Amino acid sequence: MEKENKEKEVNNKKIKTGFFKKVWYSIAKIEKYPDMAAEGLGKALGYLVKIVFLLAIILCFGMTYQTYNLVKEGIGYLQNEFPEFSYQDGILSVVSESEIIISSEDSIAGKTIIDTKVEEEQKINQYINEINESGEGIIILKDRAIIKNSAVAGTISYSYQDTFESMGINRFTKQDVINYANSAQILSLYVSVFLTIFIYAFIMYFLTTLSNAILLSFFGYITTVLARIKMRYVAIFNMSVYALTLSVILNMLYVAVNFFIPFKMEYFQVMYIAVAAIYLVAAILLLKTDLMKKQMELMKIAEAQEIVKKEMEEKEQNKEEKEKEEQRKKDKEEEKNKKQKEKDDVGNEPEGSNA
């Protein structure tokens, strides 16, 4: 009964291991990986969802902050330099003979290209390549805006119709935008941007991190084969999720710093995977060491048991020999007493008995 209660207490402790404690264990206590992996696939995926959620939140706050600065900068540019424009039923129209290009030096959002007359996909792809080369930028087309941020792989496309309809906006002009930007209603834009980016960022980062965990788990499986450790694949996958923790946190810092000091780390993705791989291999090798220690302990116990067994057998054998020796002495003594008795009986016969 006491044993069952202890097992329940241990299981409850495992279940109550909180998210932040797991983050700490994943970074500083590699020896805890097998215990966390043993909690199951559901716990590992739940942990992955939570850590990706934090990453997406940081990205959303950063991009919302950038949007705020962009709006402030854009209002001044709209009032003084930008040509007239209007929006109606999902289509934006800018009164300009050719595309408008704002260099990254003149805009906090990076290189900005405005062309509401372009129809050819080839030309649009050319614009996308241009902002990809510059690292950050915005492309304003007639039906959508394409945003490139250095903290995000690829580009994000926003449909005007989907975005503005959710806000109840069907038409506006340049003056309407200026009035809107100077009113309290602009908060709804920031909320919309935050939610839109969060949904996109969460899905993107979750799929990316999940694919990295799968890739890492195959590497871990190969490591277990080379290390001659028998492990279920799901346990290796769970350990891979926890091994990605430090890499994801470094990615959070990289994203956060980029909003204030834009820079590009060329081999960040390589470092991202390398750090996680080091953690996973270290956890597997540590597990291998623990298994070897346990095997050595079992061998020592087996040897001790063998020694005790031999000693017991020797004691048993000595006891049997001693008992046999005592029995022989007893038999000799009885034989001697018997002969002495017979001799005494012969000596005590009556004298007349021979007559």
- Rounded Cα distance between 124 and 145, Å, is 11
- List Cα–Cα distances, 138 to 29, 111, 207, 269, in angstroms: 43, 6, 25, 24
Confidence of residue 269 (pLDDT cuts 50, 70, 90): confident
Say what the pLDDT of residue 254 is. 84
Which amino acid does the sequence have at 102?
I
According to DSSP, residue 38 is labeled T
Total-model pTM: 0.60
Handedness of CA 193, 199, 200, 204 (dihedral sign): positive
Say what the pLDDT of residue 3 is. 46
137-140/111-114 β-pairing:
parallel
- Which position has the token pair 């038999």? 331
- Rounded Cα distance between 269 and 258, Å, is 15
Taking 90 as the threshold, does the pLDDT of residue 2 lie above it? no
- Rounded Cα distance between 14 and 299, Å, is 30
**What mean pLDDT comes out for the span 318-338?**
74
**What mean pLDDT comes out for the span 233-258?**
89
- Rounded Cα distance between 275 and 271, Å, is 6
**What mean pLDDT comes out for the span 98-127?**
83
**What mean pLDDT comes out for the span 67-84?**
80
- Give me 18's structure tokens: 């909180």
Say what the pLDDT of residue 15 is. 45
Taking 50 as the threshold, does the pLDDT of residue 113 lie above it? yes
Taking 80 as the threshold, does the pLDDT of residue 41 lie above it? yes
91-94/85-88 β-pairing:
antiparallel
Say what the pLDDT of residue 206 is. 92
- List Cα–Cα distances, 121 to 117, 126, 157, in angstroms: 12, 8, 14
**What mean pLDDT comes out for the span 150-161?**
75
Say what the pLDDT of residue 346 is. 63
Half-sphere exposure of 99 (CA within 13 A, CB side): 19
Q: Quick check: helix, strand or coil at residue 109?
A: coil
Say what the pLDDT of residue 229 is. 82
- Backbone phi, then psi, for 144, in 5-degree steps? -160, 165
Taking 70 as the threshold, does the pLDDT of residue 291 lie above it? no
Percentage with pLDDT > 90 across the chain:
11
Say what the pLDDT of residue 299 is. 65
